[in-house]
Structure formats: C-alpha cells, structure tokens
Structure 1
Amino acid sequence: MKVFQALADALARHGVDTVFGLMGNANLLYLPAFADTGGRFVAVTHEAGAVAMADGYARMSGKVGMASVTHGPAFTNTLTSLVEAVRNRSHVLLITGDPPPVPSHFHHFDIETATAAAGAGYEKVYEPASLVRDLNRALRRIVAERRPVVLNIPIAFMQAEAGEQAPVALPLAPPAAAGPLPEALDRALGLVTSAQRPLILAGHGAATSGARDSLMGLADRLGAALATTVLAKELFAGHPRDIGIFGSLAHSVAGAAIAESDCVIAFGAGLNMWTALNGDLFRGKKVVHVDIDPARFGSYTPVDECVAGDARLTAEAMNSLLDEVLPAAGKRHWAERIEKAMAAYSPQEDFADLSGPDTVDIRSAMIRLDRVLPERRTVVSDIGRFDVGVWPYLRVADPLHFTVMGAFGSIGLGLAGAIGAAMAGEDRPVVATVGDGGFMMHLAELTTAVRQKLPIVVLVLNDGAYGAEHYKLKNHGYDPAHSAFAWPDLADLATVMGARALTVRKAEEIDAVGELVPTLDGPLLVDVRLDPDVNLVRY
C-alpha cells in the first residue's frame, strides 16, 4: 500500500467523513482515495475557504474539521482562516506538505515557522513508516490543546510504500472540568451576597458547559438579572429577568439594568472590550469572574474576585451553599423591577425605524426575518458594521447554534464558515449573515454551496460600501465615497452562479424568505439594501 492510500484509510478509520480542500500536487492522490473509502471531499474555490469551512464544520458538529491544500502559496493562502480557527480554539486539522526536494523549487516555504506565527500546532510525517503514528499525534494534540494543528506530509512520501503502520489511536477526551476551590468560592459568595442589585453574565464558556439551568437557579436565589455575551445569546431565553446581550449591543432596558447593577458575576466570559465597553460598564461595580482558564482573569477588565472552575460546576456549588439563604427584600424589589421592565419591552418599539424609499432599516428587516424563519436554525455571522443590526434581533434556539467568524477580526470568512456548518449535517437551516464587502471577497465560494446543493440562506447586508470606513471617513471630514463600491447586481450574480436570489428594499419583502426556505434545494441569496449613511454603531 502506498502512503497516499494509507493516509486515506487512516482518515476513514479515524472517523473523518468530510474533507474540505483544493487539489494540487501534494494532495492529488489521497483525496480521491479518501472518496473511494466512502468519505466526502468538498472541493472549494480558494484555500482560505477550505480552512474556514473546516472551522465552521468543527464548531457545529463537535468533530475535528479537516482541510487539505497543496504546498507553497496554497498553504499561505490559508493563514487568515487558520488564525481565525486558532483564536476560536477550533478543532481543525490542516494537511499540507513540503514540495519536491529540489533546491530551486519555487514553492519552498517554512511551514513550521508560519504555523507557529499563526498560533497553531505543527506536526510532520518524518518517514513513510511513521505516517499513522504522526497523524494520531496531530489529532490528539488538536483535542488536548484545543487548537488547530498543521500536518506536513512531504510530497516525496506520497507514492512511497507505506509498509507496516502503527494502529489508529483515537483522540482522548480532555480531563473532566474542575469545580472551584472552597476558599475562592467563599470569598466570591461573600461579595455576591452583599450586593443589592446583582447581575449574572454568561459567556460562551457557560453555554458549552451546560450551565443554563444552574445559572438561572442561582439568579432566582439571588434575585439577579440575567445577561449574556454575544456568543452566548439566548442562553436564558424565556426567563423573566433575561435582559439579553450585555455590552455595546444592549437594548434600552438592558442598558438601564446594567447601569444600576452593583455586582456582576461573570461565568465563562472573556469580559472583552465590547462586552465591557472598554471597562466603562464595570466601573463602580464589584466583579466576580468565574472561568476555567485563569489566564483570562484581568486580561481586559479588572475583577474583585476570581474563581477558577467550570461554569456549571461553580454555579451548582454556589447554589448548594445558598440553599439556606433567602434573598434580601431589596434584591426582590430589584428583581421585580427587571421583570416588569422586560415584560413591557418590545424590540420594534425600542428604536425609530430609519428605512428609506429604497432601503430598509436592518433592525426592522431582522425582526421580521426572525419571525418567518424556522425557530430551530443555525446562524453563522461574518463581521462588519451590519452586526449591530443583526445579532440582537436574529435569534437562535440554542446559543451553540450561533457563531461568529470574527475572532481574528477579518471580514469575508462568514460564507465559507456557513458552508462548513451546513456540511455538518445538523437538521437545521443555516443562515449566513455577511456584509457586501466581505461577500464579494469570497463570492466564488457561493458556487461551492451550489455544487453541494446546500439550502443556505445567505443574507448580504448591502450598503454599497465598506460601512465602518464610510462613517469613519465622514467623522474625519473626508468624502465617504472613497469607501463606496458600485457592485454588480448581487441577485443577478447569484442567479448566474446557480443559486436562487431576491432583493429586499422594504421590510415586508423579507417575508418571501420564510416562504422559500422549506423548498430550498440549494443556496438562496438575499440582497438586503441598506443606506450607508445610517450608522447604528454606538462605540
């Protein structure tokens, strides 16, 4: 058996069912061999898309997402997507390889150094006979270290005899999450129970640990308000004191509650600059920070008490210690005020609609879309100015069905991430929210969704400009036309590429999306026209 055949067989025995990639000399043989084992090879149009798709696949499936590219520029094309996956701690394996061992070959590049700069792990197949052993090690590191690994398989090995290989060794699950130390828990509870207007803030770590019920129980014992970061949005949906997103995207009731609170107990949240509004939202408050990663404590926001521990286990421990303690009267009064304010809150009445004759207010469009889409859906978002009008209004049934391809701050990865999420095979429609600039950067990947017949709804929030730069230029006194683009008609482009498409210039036109979703046999592009001079960013 040749090395390329042994690799295809080992991937199948590892349970890899999907590989995203672009063929070249280094992977030309093992990808069709992998398909022959029953695996699925998803051919992409650009290497950056391969890694972003593997990343989206990993986020939504819980499996290792795999990408494959050839050597040289194919690998360097993946670097932005690779850094995004690193920053998100995604389980991604990227296989590439050294070019032929010819000194003058123009694809020579230091893969190991570039991988280290990206923050990913690096492994190499050192000889044909070590292929499976080296693959095992790469996959185990991905799970143990919670980051992508680049595996270098030199092209010179591919048609060599594989010989006798080590058996496949599946990755081991990391150790069970730990509960808090009693001393840290006592100090934190002393601060928490002295607060009169407590607020519990949950981040993505709380969602992944399954802490929803224990945190709501803690909030009921304390009479606390409940809020989340963007990446944990809707974790507390249905609770009468759920005020939604904490930070720069908070609505009017949430903003008032955050301002009035005197203690924030954060679980599994990074407390970054957007959540904290550069620290402004925590000034004058006591802050308790619970996280499994002690390195996060104080990284962005000063805290008064740190508790190293899993969010769910820590909340359960707090509940056990508070079982005999009743909330003070002042806390119950605070709780009742929050409940009353949230009962009267209406998203559509919280802002003045800024729709124009041929443009729609993004908030009104998303509120309407939220109503017509199936309740259970996956939302994969790119980043850009449009986010402030999407994230608070387009909901999900579970925060783990929502992700943002923006950990590195690069626009343009959302469409590929959504394709990977759709390929994960979960029984939910996938909605990609992207800006027009980011969409045009990776427009060609729409053809990947067409070829795979993926029923993705691609919402292009189209203001005909790079929106953040548009309003920043105006603020500096320059002509914002420098940031404007006269794109081709996006619906026409999508149609030519084989997708279905519609253009939305009025909020009521968004209802057609709900009618089309049940019958989709491929992607639907929705070109939502926005006014570039309407700026919703408040920071």
Structure 2
Amino acid sequence: MSPTRTVAEAVGEALVRCGIDTVFGVVGSGNFVATNAMVAAGARYVAARHEGGAATMADAFARTSGRPAVVSLHQGCGLTNALTGITEAAKSRTPLVVLTAETTNRRSNFHVDQPALAEAVGALSVRVTSAATAERYTAVAVDTAREQRRVVVLNLPLDVQSQPAEGLPAEPLPPVPEPGTVEAEEPAGELAEALRRARRPVFVAGRGARAARAELEQLADRCGALLATSAVAKGLFRGSPCDLDVSGGFATPLAAELISGADLIVGWGCQLNMWTMRHGRLIAADAVVVQVDDEADAIGAQREVSLGVVGDVRAVAAAATGLLDDTVEGYRTAEVRDAIAARGRWRDEPYDDAGGAGLIDPRTLGIGLDDLLPAERIVAVDSGNFMGYPSMYLDVPDEHGFCFTQAFQSVGLGLATAIGAALARPDRLPVAALGDGGALMGAAELETVVRLGLPMVVVVHDDAAYGAEVHHFGPDGHALDTVRFPETDFAAIGRGYGFEAVTVRGPADLAGVGAWLAGPRTAPLLVDAKVTRGEPSWWLEEAFRGH
C-alpha cells in the first residue's frame, strides 16, 4: 500500500467490507490500485483475458452464488469491451457492481460518456466525486446491487481516485436490511380463489422463484398443479413426479400439450414472455393467467394477465396455501402422472438418428454425454441453433445446476458463463456447451480455464456455420457464403491451450470422454463434436414460426 492511503484504495477496501469477496476483471492503469486494494482486503481476484469475459464471469458467479460480485475495468475501452456482458447482466437483474476507472478529461483518448453508456444498457450509474463521499457512494452501489438486483456502474474518476483518503472511516458498514415480504392476504385470497376454481392448473416458475421450491411445491400439492419453469430456472422442481421441466421453446411435446391444456397458468417470478409461452401459443384461449412478482412494473409487461399479485413469491405461495383447506387431484390424474413418467424428458422422445458420414446427431451426443457425466454438474450454454440440445438433453440436479446467460441472446458468452459458475460451485463438474461460432468468439478464456485449474468439460457443437442464419435464410434461397465456414480443428486449439481433447464424429468416439472422466482430470477436456447440420433444431423452427 502506498504511504498515503488514496481514494482508490479506500473504495477497494470498502467494497470488501460491504461483503464483496470475488472480483473479476482485466487490470490496467486506471483500475490497478483499486483492484489490488480489494485483494489486500481479502477478496479473490480472477483475471480474465477479455473484459467481456470478465463481465460475464462476474454475472454467472453472482447468479450461481446468490451474492453480488464485482467486475473491475479500465476507463473507456475497458468498459466498452465489457458492455455486452454488462447488458446481459442488467437485463437479467443480476446483482453486480461494475468498478470502472473514468476519465472526465474530454481530451483524453479514453474519454467516453460512461454514465450514458450505463443508462443505455439498463444499468444504474454512481460516480465517486470526492474523498469525503467515496466510501458512502461505494456502499450505496453495493447495497443497490444487492437489494434491488441491479447492475450498478461505479465510476471512479482518475483525478478523484488519486486523492488522499486519510481520515475516512474504516469501521464496518452497517448490515443491509433483509428485503421485506408481502403480508397482505387480499392478493393471496384472489389467487387462492382462482386455484379453487381451476381443474388443470400449471405453475411456471422463473428466476424470481428459485428460492421458493418448498412453498411452491406445497401449494401445488394442495391444488393439484403441474410444475414447469422458464429456461433460467431449469432444475427447480427436479425429482418431483409432476415436473414438466422447461416451458416454452425447449418444452417437450408432452409438456407443451399439458401446458396448453391448462385452464389456469400461474407465473411465479416469471415474465411469461414469448420464449416461455411460445409466443402465446401455450396459453389456451379460455385459460386464466396469473402473474406473481415482487415488482409491480413486471406485472403484465409481456402479456395481458387476468390477475396480478405483487409480492414476494415465497410469501404469496405460503399465504395462498394457508387459504386452501382441501387437497384436490387437479391436473395430477393417474393418466397425467404416467405420461410424465414415460415421456417427461426429451430423451424419452423417439427420433430418427441423422448421424453418419463423420457427423454425430446432437441428440445422440447429448444423451451420450448425459449418461457419462456425473449427476452433480453445472451446465452453461451459449447461444445458437445448437443450444436446445445441451439445454434439454443434459439433466441438472437442481436450480443451481444450470446457468443460462441468454437475456440478451448474445453469441460468445457461454465459456465465460461456465467459468463464473464453476468458481461459485467448485463442488460440481462444470460443463460448457458451445457452438463453433461462440467457441471462437470466447476462445481467449480457454487459457483462463487452464490457468485456474478448472476440471471443466467444454463441448463444442461444430456445424461449420452460424447455424441459425443458415436455417433461417437458406430455405428462401439466399446465398449462405457469409455464414458458412470450413470445419475448425477445435481439438487442436484446445490442446494448444493446455486441454486434453477428443474429436467426436460418432457415438463410439465418446469413449474418450469416459476415459477422461475415469482419469485424474489434471487438465480440462475439450470435446470437438462434429454435429449434423442438415436441419434446424426443433426450438429454432418453433421460434421462426413465431415471427
């Protein structure tokens, strides 16, 4: 530490006192002192190879751990490099603090309107303006991120961070109060009445319900509801005999049939958007739609609802359960339960294997990997035509087993997502499912995986193209030269970074994955899967029909 304690040091120390224990970033001159101060105060620093990767790692770590994280960035270009990851986090309401240096000198090459950038992508902006307010503003940034589940960009101007900070209080900051819960019974009473009238209720739980499994299952047991989730909450009801898994584009044919047959759909901390409801096609014309959310602005934001309940999901579910006297069969008939047991997973659906000629069907790949990989896993999936296959064919043990950074639908976030999630849950095998385009976009972070010693399995679904564009525009006769590429030797790339690698062109090649799993796992594994490319994925066909 320098002889005179500076504002940059005070801010770094304050972030740690506020509860931040992990910081991701790329360090440059502007954020060097503050980042080192965080490390000296006890935080773990994870160096990424690109600021975009750092932001996404921090996002995934916060989602998976349930605790706010920090991404530390250089002024100007450091922030702009990270903007896609910051936008994904902001759209997902991830509690994240973006600590970024800032130059207010308009003549500087690094100058850019950073508060405007934050606002443009849906983040909040806080600027440290003086030594006297540095710690207070830092505490405000962390408290806002935590309590309001927001991304907060904490701008630290260069001319301020170098100021002396002697005399600023260093005692622990007061604890942040727990969020309040809704105690009023009137909204829960209306919900309970809707549940009493329903004969075929379905619950769809989203990110806002991930901490409410017990309360939702108890209510569902009482009223006979089937259980489903949005993609980001996949695994929440794993093990329940009435679990339909994911609703929407990824839904199994059986889940789609049962959800579209519901006479009551209750969205719990879930937007019920076009993806979760297949552009509304999963909602019957006469179905009652209820939305429960702790933010009034979220109610009806995506579609018209019959009833909106503003409140904490756990509190509302518990209150509604207390208002229902009798347990009814509802949608949980013997026939429905038997159907879920027989056809509740995508792997239960028959298909014509399209593999051969040196290419593997992605369904066969997913089933084979699911059988080989240990159950205690955490799966992160990039964006692209391929994404439905690993999302639905790789089971996860619970809601902490799936990290899905898809609110902005950016290709290239999958590997960094897996790194952040892996650091939050070191007890599980991390699996990164990527397309060839996303793998190359994020390839710099392969070095991060090796450097951190993560026992990760990276599966690249290589169809030698931007598959979504091929299948979107190809049927109309468009030239596809701009979105098709030669096959890439991802196995060689992986070995170059220090991975073990296996190329998979057929089911027999998966034996190499089994051998790695049985071995010491001293290096991560890259699976270079050459997948079939003749047809679009089922979910993409469904999405195209929605436009």
Letter matched to residue 136 of structure 1: A
Q: Secondary structure at the match of 1:392?
A: helix
Equivalent of 2:86 in 61, 82, 85: 82
Contact (CA 8 Å) 1:372, 1:511: kept in 2 or not? no
Q: Which residue of 1 aligns with 2:157?
A: 154
Rounded to whole Å, the distance in 2 between the matches of 1:102 and 1:241 is 60
Letter matched to residue 235 of structure 1: L
1:383-427: CA deviation from partner (whole Å, max 9, x where unpaired): 221122122221211113312111112111111121122222531
Alignment length (residue pairs): 531
Q: Which residue of 2 aligns with 1:351?
A: 350
Q: Which residue of 1 aligns with 2:338?
A: 340
Rounded to whole Å, the distance in 2 between the matches of 1:8 and 1:187 is 48
- The reply to whether residue 413 of structure 1 matches residue 416 of structure 2 is no
Listed as ranges, the matches of 1:142-181 within 5 Å are 142-167=145-170, 168-169=172-173, 172-179=176-183, 181=184
Q: Secondary structure at the match of 1:236?
A: coil
Contact (CA 8 Å) 2:262, 2:283: kept in 1 or not? no
Letter matched to residue 233 of structure 1: K
Q: Secondary structure at the match of 1:280?
A: coil
Listed as ranges, the matches of 1:452-471 within 5 Å are 452-471=452-471
Equivalent of 1:191 in 190, 194, 203: 194
Q: Secondary structure at the match of 2:204?
A: strand
Classify 1:34/1:322 alpha carbon distance in 2 versus 1 (closer, same or farther; 3 Å): closer
Listed as ranges, the matches of 1:368-387 within 5 Å are 368-387=368-387
Rounded to whole Å, the distance in 1 between the matches of 2:96 and 2:204 is 29
After the TM superposition, which parts of structure 1 deviate over 4 Å for at least 4 consecutive aligned residues? none
- Displacement of 1:468 after TM fit? 0.5
Q: Which stretch of structure 1 is more off in the superposition, 336-345 or 472-481?
A: 472-481
Rounded to whole Å, the distance in 2 between the matches of 1:57 and 1:241 is 30
Q: Which residue of 1 aligns with 2:475?
A: 475
Letter matched to residue 49 of structure 1: G
Listed as ranges, the matches of 1:56-455 within 5 Å are 56-99=60-103, 103-167=106-170, 168-169=172-173, 172-179=176-183, 181-208=184-211, 210=212, 212-284=213-285, 285-323=287-325, 325-327=326-328, 331=330, 335-345=333-343, 347-352=346-351, 353-455=353-455
Classify 1:36/1:297 alpha carbon distance in 2 versus 1 (closer, same or farther; 3 Å): closer
Rounded to whole Å, the distance in 2 between the matches of 1:102 and 1:298 is 44
Rounded to whole Å, the distance in 1 between the matches of 2:11 and 2:190 is 53
Which structure 1 residue ranges, 5 or more long, are not aligned? none
Letter matched to residue 201 of structure 1: V
1:487-539: CA deviation from partner (whole Å, max 9, x where unpaired): 53111011111122211112343353344246323432211211222212331
- Displacement of 1:463 after TM fit? 1.0
Rounded to whole Å, the distance in 2 between the matches of 1:248 and 1:429 is 27
Q: Which stretch of structure 1 is more off in the superposition, 9-18 or 443-452?
A: 9-18
1:328-361: CA deviation from partner (whole Å, max 9, x where unpaired): 7xx47x6211111122226434131222331222
TM-score (norm 2): 0.91
Rounded to whole Å, the distance in 1 between the matches of 2:152 and 2:492 is 39
Identical columns (%): 36
Q: Which stretch of structure 1 is more off in the superposition, 165-174 or 86-95?
A: 165-174
Rounded to whole Å, the distance in 2 between the matches of 1:281 and 1:293 is 24
Listed as ranges, the matches of 1:20-35 within 5 Å are 20-35=24-39
Classify 1:364/1:306 alpha carbon distance in 2 versus 1 (closer, same or farther; 3 Å): same
Rounded to whole Å, the distance in 2 between the matches of 1:326 and 1:494 is 55
Superposition RMSD on alpha carbons, in Å? 2.2
Classify 1:469/1:240 alpha carbon distance in 2 versus 1 (closer, same or farther; 3 Å): same
Letter matched to residue 192 of structure 2: L
1:254-297: CA deviation from partner (whole Å, max 9, x where unpaired): 22212322222222211010111111211321222222222222
- Displacement of 1:231 after TM fit? 1.8
- Displacement of 1:444 after TM fit? 0.8
1:208-246: CA deviation from partner (whole Å, max 9, x where unpaired): 3x2x23323333332332222212222222222222222
Rounded to whole Å, the distance in 2 between the matches of 1:267 and 1:200 is 7
Rounded to whole Å, the distance in 2 between the matches of 1:240 and 1:409 is 32
Q: Secondary structure at the match of 1:386?
A: helix
Classify 1:110/1:103 alpha carbon distance in 2 versus 1 (closer, same or farther; 3 Å): closer
Contact (CA 8 Å) 1:449, 1:522: kept in 2 or not? no
